[in-house]
Amino acid sequence: MNFHISGFPLVISMFLLGYSAIDYNRAKKYNIDIAGLILVVLSWILFVWSFIADDFNLLAVYGYSTVEMPFWLKIASSWAGMAGSFVLWAFLMALITLIYIFYVEKRHLNENNVIRAYLLATLVVSILAVKTGAFDVADVSFRLPAGMGLNPLLRSFWILIHPIFTFLGYSFGIALALFVLLSNSKDFFWERLIASLAWLNLSIGIIAGAVWAYVVLGWGGYWAWDPVETAELVPWLALTAYFHSLHSTGDGGRRLTAALTGFYTFYSSFMTKAGAQFTASVHTFEWTPSAVTLIIIHFIAGGFILALYLWKPGKFNWNVKLDNVTNTSFSIAWWSLLGLSLISFLGIFTPIIYYVVKGGLISVGIEYFNIYSFPLTYLFLIALVGCALRDWINAKQYVLISMSIFLASIVFTIAGFPTNNWMANMLVPITTATLLATLYRLSMDVTSRFVRSITISTLHLAIAIILLGVALNSTLSIGTVYKLELGKPVDTLYGVSVQYDGFDIRISDWNIFYSGHLIPEGAYGDFKFKITDNGKTYDIILPVWVPFTYGCGSEPGMISKGLDDIYVSIVHADFHNRLKPIITNNAFYGANEAVDYIIIEVKYNPLIWLVWLGTAILILGETMAIGTLFVSRWRRSVV
């Protein structure tokens, strides 16, 4: 297999980064470290340019792009595949390292160990990019005229948001672990800033993925405990635990959560790009024969971070504080978040072990995550109540309030109110109590203009709203399947009527080079519907795509009904088994087959706005936390 020119700077950088990690003082003297990082950036620029310039002889371009794709999608398709995402990740890590090096040199600080370790981490990701074939070239003697196009599921605005912020979160997560474990700095500003940036970027990545799944991918919801999306949640939980460790444990607990963040990050990146093929995941878009090698590399890198934690003295000096309501609530939050991260990790690690031992694909069921994470989630919410009321109650009153909330949860569960799910009924009183306590705290904080406390209250408010929304929406959502005959409206159980009005066929204006021929990428069937709600009619189109190179799929449609959504989608078995051949025959073989009926699912999603409102407040709170850091630093410099 030939090697593309865009990969040569990355290969050269690997030698420079390796040398810099071994002998950083000499490398620093001759700027070898900076040269290696600049070459990583250059390699990414050349790699992306190959997509823009339609260099289809680069297999990554051939596999994920074609001539007619819009400019922005060609850029995004450069990280659509596993190998390209590693190139993107190496680029982001190189940028972060360059910024940090220039800052350290400007301040004349001795952070050689941190820089050496991050150079080594960048080297590992660069090796992953090369190992997965990012720069492999097609073994042909002519210039390929087109590529294979991009999976229709990935042709979304969200491909610009979800991957970039996810890998930025991963990059800062690893930086946090290395900084906490290796830095000599006594200035906690940079540690808190790195942690806050990791938390913010990872939150945006998770939320963007949830929105993408809900509005585009047609999976019927924003969260399903799929192995890949759960893998992204695990380091987020560890990061959240890190912030609570600052108020509740000694340096040992703080270093533990930072080390776990780094370890989880490496494992999560493996699951995101290669691990899904070992599990029953909806994210399995490609197969790689290098997956076993990849998991070994990821575990070695993650294990190195855990080894740094174990090597440090005082690793078990956790010094958990339970002397007042503030410290007790933060300690409970820390332990519960650590437990949640471990439960989630075991849920996505078990299928890997099963595959290695028995060679089969399994996925740990939703029941596992719901049942085992429920008690720890409840404890976490109890902790948030204590945090909100910390200045007005003592330990005995905190226990009485917690017991009262728990008794209310029992009553709701016995009464079967407000849902038919006992876990949701248990969560409603505690999330409501957390919401009310946090709102009261926030009002007091605003009055006193205590910015840091306002930020904490905003974040806790967001968590309470999200969990309340998830508890109610996930259990009150109802989906019903309907058979719609052409032109005949059907009244649904949710106060709306749906009518199927036929379909149009269109051949894709994208061309692909497939089996030695330049052909249209595929065909689309645009199925038209009218949804009537309270006398108002909405026209929606549910497209079914049938490309030659990817499996067929369909995009859902939805309308907002007050605080709720009505979610309409074509049943998978119907478009895959019946509509797919009709679309293909009509588009390419001159047939004129009719579709006299269609099978759809109409799903009622109540209170979905609570989930989106909570995520928006979460992003606001995390942004405020970063702003608060800079304001505090500026005030100290002025004084």
pLDDT, tens digit, 9 for 90 and up, residues 81-122: 889 999 999 999 999 999 999 887 777 677 889 999 999 999
pLDDT at position 247 is 77
Judge if 468 and 569 occupy the same domain: no
Judge if 484 and 574 occupy the same domain: yes
525 occurs within a structural domain: yes
Which amino acid is residue 35, in one-letter code? A
pLDDT at position 49 is 97
289 occurs within a structural domain: no
Poorest-pLDDT segment among 55-69, 78-92, 120-134, 308-322: 308-322
Can you tell me the distance from the alpha carbon of 475 to that of 424, in angstroms, rounded to the nearest whole number? Answer: 7
Residue 290 pLDDT exceeds 80:
no
pLDDT at position 34 is 96
pLDDT at position 284 is 59
Higher per-residue pLDDT: 616 or 353:
616
- Range among 69-78, 102-111, 132-141, 247-256 rated most confident: 69-78
DSSP, res 216: I
Rounded to an integer, what is the distance from CA 50 to the centroid of its chain? Answer: 27
Judge if 503 and 589 occupy the same domain: yes
Can you tell me the distance from the alpha carbon of 557 to that of 541, in angstroms, rounded to the nearest whole number? Answer: 7
Judge if 482 and 461 occupy the same domain: no
Q: Are 262 and 214 in contact (CB under 8 A)?
A: no
pLDDT, tens digit, 9 for 90 and up, residues 384-423: 999 999 999 999 999 999 999 999 999 999 999 999 999 9
Q: Which of the four pLDDT bands, split at 50, 70 and 90, describes residue 316? A: low
Higher per-residue pLDDT: 324 or 87:
87
Number of Cβ within 10 Å of residue 371's Cβ equals: 12
Q: Are 515 and 148 in contact (CB under 8 A)?
A: no
30 occurs within a structural domain: no
Q: At 519, phi and psi to the nearest 5?
A: -135, 160
Judge if 415 and 509 occupy the same domain: no
Can you tell me the distance from the alpha carbon of 344 to that of 231, in angstroms, rounded to the nearest whole number? Answer: 8
82 occurs within a structural domain: no
Higher per-residue pLDDT: 176 or 290:
176
Judge if 600 and 516 occupy the same domain: yes
User: Residue 317 in 3-state DSSP?
Assistant: coil
445 occurs within a structural domain: yes
Range of the domain at 539: 478-605
For residue 414, give every residue at least 6 positions away whose Cβ sits within 8 Å of its Cβ, in sequence order, or none.
none
pLDDT at position 104 is 76
pLDDT, tens digit, 9 for 90 and up, residues 112-151: 899 999 999 999 999 999 988 999 998 887 889 999 999 8
Name which of 206, 198, 320 is nearest 256 in CA terms: 320
pLDDT at position 385 is 97
Higher per-residue pLDDT: 159 or 360:
159
pLDDT at position 315 is 62
31 occurs within a structural domain: no
pLDDT at position 118 is 94
194 token code pair: 């790195």
236 token code pair: 């987020």
Judge if 445 and 519 occupy the same domain: no
Which amino acid is residue 397, in one-letter code? Q
Beta bridge partners, 543, equal 526
pLDDT, tens digit, 9 for 90 and up, residues 425-464: 999 999 999 999 999 999 999 988 788 899 999 999 999 9
Judge if 587 and 496 occupy the same domain: yes
Strands (E), 548-593: 553-554, 557-561, 564-570
177 occurs within a structural domain: no
Judge if 417 and 522 occupy the same domain: no
Judge if 550 and 601 occupy the same domain: yes
Poorest-pLDDT segment among 175-179, 274-278, 450-454, 500-504: 274-278
Residue 212 pLDDT exceeds 70:
yes
Can you tell me the distance from the alpha carbon of 365 to that of 226, in angstroms, rounded to the nearest whole number? Answer: 9
Poorest-pLDDT segment among 1-5, 314-318, 582-586: 314-318
For residue 233, give every residue at least 6 positions away whose Cβ sits within 8 Å of its Cβ, in sequence order, or none.
206, 344
585 token code pair: 């025959």
pLDDT at position 278 is 66
Mean pLDDT of the region 563-586: 90
Which helix (H) or strand (E) segment holds residue 2: the answer is strand 2-3
Judge if 588 and 637 occupy the same domain: no
Tally of structural domains, the chain? 2
Judge if 467 and 534 occupy the same domain: no
Can you tell me the distance from the alpha carbon of 490 to that of 448, in angstroms, rounded to the nearest whole number? Answer: 56
Helices 291-311 and 112-131 pack at an angle, to 10 degrees, of: 170
Residue 639 pLDDT exceeds 60:
no
pLDDT at position 434 is 97
pLDDT at position 282 is 64
502 occurs within a structural domain: yes
Percent of the chain clearing pLDDT 70 (strictly above): 94
**Among the residues of 449-600, which ranges form H helices?**
451-476, 572-574, 580-588
Q: Which of the four pLDDT bands, split at 50, 70 and 90, describes residue 187? A: confident
pLDDT at position 354 is 82
Which helix (H) or strand (E) segment holds residue 603: the answer is strand 597-605
Q: Kindly report the average pLDDT of the chain as a whole number.
A: 90
